[in-house]
Amino acid sequence: MTKEGDSLEIEIEDKVKKFLEIEKEIQVISHFDTDGITSAVIMTKTLKKLDKKFSVKILKRIEEDTIKNLPKDKLIIFLDLGSGSLNELSASGIENIFIIDHHEVIQEIPKNVHIINPELNGKEKISSSGLTYLFCRKINPSNKELAKLAILGMIGDLLESNIEKMNNEILKDGEMKRKRGLLIYPSTRPLNRVLEYCSDPFIPGVTGNPEGVLELLREVNLSSNGKIKSLMELDEQEMSRLVTAIMLRNPEAKNKKIVGDIFLINFFGQLEDARELSATINACSRLDDTGLALQFCMEAPPAKKKAEYLHAKYRQSLVSGLKFVSEMEKIQGNGFVIINTKNKIKDTMIGTIASILANSSIYPEATVITTLAYYENKIKVSMRSVGENPRNLREILNDIVEKVGGNVGGHDAAAGCMILQEKESEFIDLLKKSFEVEMVKV
């Protein structure tokens, strides 16, 4: 009898055979977050080994014209994208389209689409970069050297706390080091700088507050002799004191959320914190430099300092964004909060802010946080849930978008959509009504 995990492996093997049979120039289209960028680099390095002719495009999202403008004579590969656009791809006139993705599938799979997606096969929690890596390893076993990129994508999609069979395989291939400790990063840098810019977990009175940082370090006796240790240099007792002090400042945070495995990967010739690397890739993309994100993943020496500079800038912007959100007026009700930042926060940052708020102790368990930000004549909407929530967030957005128009993507616990600005009031009214109806049902 075939197990669910095994059937996904068989699916990957089947799609690899189909892929290798097609002799065409390739267009790779990938998402702009860490998972998408690492997927793109894994795929491009594999295609180079195969001596295939290809081009790469990185997208924030699939827009209305994206599919219309696809070349009809090429083999198209979507990475970390495409599962929500199957109807449009069916009508595209393109003969062969491959999708390697892990987002929810709600449309019928057309004949011209070859899809690898755990949502259709076993529902194992695995990133698109993990799936892309397994696809490329099946093409050529020497591609094991790319496992560390899949690990960065996995961490970028916050899947490291629930490692199942396939992710475990990738971790073994990646030859990384693992240590139990506080989940703040980078674990290899002095704690004072790390704590000041720590937004996940958000630490009240410490995040964005240099004086609050020093007070915390003095309290746990980690600021003596002028030298401040890094997280990796702490012994068990020091680590325990630091975790306790942070828990006291954030009492609603669950211990399992702030303590876990720290992954160290060999990158640019030295051991680096995988969370820091993942966040650096993400920062480059969120600040509109996907080219730099790709170069950083390829370990191009000139990219290192530039990427680190952008990451520092991004972290400062995040802290400023969180401060703005904490002070602004919000729409709140029983079990929900709507935060409409309009043009005050970049559309590329609003999802991260929603995630940080969902992981903080600001809102009670099961609260649904919805953030909005303007993008040209549109609005980017991100929705997250605080802790466990029985509601499917993607379904909530899908029901509303069917009425106001737009595109929906994501998962049941973290979803987003894009709507026109002219639909702003209607969208917010429908969203409020949706939550109020849900509360009545409960």
pLDDT digits (tens, 9 = 90+) for 84-98: 889 999 999 899 999
* 340 has pLDDT over 90: yes
If one compares 230 and 26, the residue with the highest pLDDT of the two is 26
* 415 has pLDDT over 50: yes
Burial-class residue 36 by CB neighbours within 10 Å (0-12, 13-18, 19+): buried
Cα-to-chain-centroid distance, residue 122? 21
pLDDT of residue 29: 98
* 251 has pLDDT over 80: no
Q: Give the model's confidence band at 152: pLDDT under 50 very low, under 70 low, under 90 confident, else very high.
A: very high
Domain locations in the chain? 4-174, 178-322, 328-441
* 196 has pLDDT over 90: no
pLDDT of residue 128: 94
- Full DSSP string of 195-242: HHT-BTTB-TTTTT-HHHHHHHHHHTT--GGG---BGGG--HHHHHHH
Q: What is the mean pLDDT of the chain?
A: 88
CB atoms within 10 A of CB 16: 18
The answer as to CATH 3.20.20.60 being correct for domain 4-174 is no
Report pLDDT digits (tens) over 68-85.
Answer: 999 999 999 999 999 988
Judged by average pLDDT, the poorest of 195-204, 273-282, 295-304, 315-324 is: 195-204
Q: Give the model's confidence band at 159: pLDDT under 50 very low, under 70 low, under 90 confident, else very high.
A: low
Nearest to residue 398, comparing CAs of 384, 376, 426, 419?
Answer: 419
* 200 has pLDDT over 80: no
Q: In CATH, what class is 328-441?
A: alpha beta
* 243 has pLDDT over 80: yes
Read off the pLDDT of each residue in 371-396 and give the average, rounded to a whole number.
90
